[in-house]
Structures are given as structure tokens and as C-alpha cells.
Amino acid sequence: MTGLASLFILVVLTVAATFGWRWWSQRNDAGSKRYNSLIEQTADRHNMDPSLVKAVIFQESNFNANARGKAGEYGLMQITEGAAKDWERGTGKSFGSPGSLFRPKLNVEIGTWYLAQGYRKWQGHDEVLTLSLAYYNAGPSRAQEWADAAGEKKIIDTIPFSSTRQYISHVMQHFRTFSRERRFHDETEEP
């Protein structure tokens, strides 16, 4: 390949990467903003940080209300029927049919409720966020098992599933990003 051809390919790839990233970023930003009000209201009702709820949604579905998981999860927060039934038992409300779990309002309600259950359970623990996310991703009994096994170690080091460790790490990264964006927005908002 000649130097000119290599340069041309490099320019094309650079332009594609730049516009592709910009398109992806704008698409993602629009998706996340679409649900801001719903996330804020639901998080407030459950005494949760909206940036954490948003981070979970980003990780679970990238703000795709029609997302369907490999294990049968539904919607924005990838709710399982088991989690929905836990919500029914905990609240006395009915979620209806599994297809209703695609509805953003119901999905975010159940997902935030479930996340808040883990947060409340681990509220006194130094690693409340890690355990809350382990609870959300892998279930209450596994989160308890990992907390019990930790001793002096960090909880993340006791989790045998790399997928759960990665999940927690990614959600925490997104949480920090959304928290910074929220603070920036709050600081720049006109009175």
C-alpha cells in the first residue's frame, strides 16, 4: 500500500470515528434526557440518587425501553418477572402481564424500588453502593453471601462472577459521570 493510500484510509477512519462518536454521543444523550423527569420523580419517591438510577438504566439497556435480556429481562432497567413479583409482594400492587414491564413508568418504578431495597438493606455498610448493585444484579442471597465472605477484603474481591464485578464497576463509572453532569447542570442553571 502506498503512503498516499495509507494516509487516505487514516483520514477516512478518523472522520468516521469522529462523526460516529458524535452521533453515538448525541443519540445516547437524547435517550438519557428523554427519561430524566421520570427518573428524577421515581428516584425521589424511593429516596434514591437519580444519577444512580440513571447509571443502572444506562448499563442495563442504554435507555432502550424495548430492550429484552438474554434471561428474559424487560425494558429500561431489565426487570425480571421474579423482581416484579417481589415488587407485587412488597407493595401490594400488580404489574399485570410480563409485556407491561416494557412500559417505562412501571419498569423504572419496579427497578428503582428493587434497587432501593438493596440500598436500605446495606445502608449501614461502608460499601453500600457495591452491595446494592450486587443485590440488583445477582440477587439478595448472593449479595449477602459475598458480604459475609468479605471480612477485611473489599466486597468486589469476594464476587466470583466476573460479569457481576464488571457490572458494578461500569455502573459506578456511569454513576460518577451522571453525578458530575448533574452537579454541572445544577451549578450552571439560572436562578
- Domains of the chain: which residue ranges? 1-34, 35-188
pLDDT category at 182 given cuts 50, 70, 90 is: confident
Residue 27 · residue 58 · CB < 8 Å: no
- SS3 state at 31: helix
Calculate mean pLDDT across residues 175-185: 85
pLDDT > 90 in the chain, percent: 76
154: Cβ contacts below 8 Å, ≥ 6 apart: 127, 130
How many CB atoms within 10 Å of residue 29? 12
Whether residue 54 contacts residue 179, with contact meaning beta carbons closer than 8 Å, is answered with: no
Q: What is the pLDDT of residue 25?
A: 42
Q: How far is CA 123 from CA 47, 99, 128, 172, in A?
A: 12, 33, 6, 17
Q: What is the mean pLDDT of residues 114-138?
A: 97
Residue 116 has pLDDT above 70, yes or no: yes
pLDDT in tens, 17-74: 555 544 344 445 566 789 999 999 999 999 999 999 999 999 999 999 999 999 999 9
pLDDT for the residue numbered 146: 96
**What distance in Å separates the CA atoms of residue 95 and residue 84, rounded to the nearest whole number?**
7
Distance CA 131, CA 56 (A): 14
Question: In angstroms, rounded to a whole number, what is the distance separating the alpha carbons of residues 136 and 17?
Answer: 34
**According to the model, what pLDDT value does residue 24 have?**
40
CATH of domain 35-188: 1.10.530.10
Angstrom distance (rounded) from CA 154 to CA 147: 9
Across the range 149-161, mean pLDDT stands at 94
Residues involved in catalysis:
60
Return the percent helix, strand and coil in the chain, to nearest 5: 75, 0, 25
Tell me the percentage of the chain whose pLDDT exceeds 70. Answer: 79
Q: Contact, 78 vs 69, CB < 8 A?
A: yes
Q: Burial code of 168-191, b = ≥16 C-beta within 10 A, e = fewer? A: beebbebbeebbeebeeeeeeeee
* Residue whose C-alpha is closest to residue 80's, from 22, 21, 138: 138
pLDDT at residue 181, rounded to an integer? 87
Residue 33: predicted pLDDT: 87
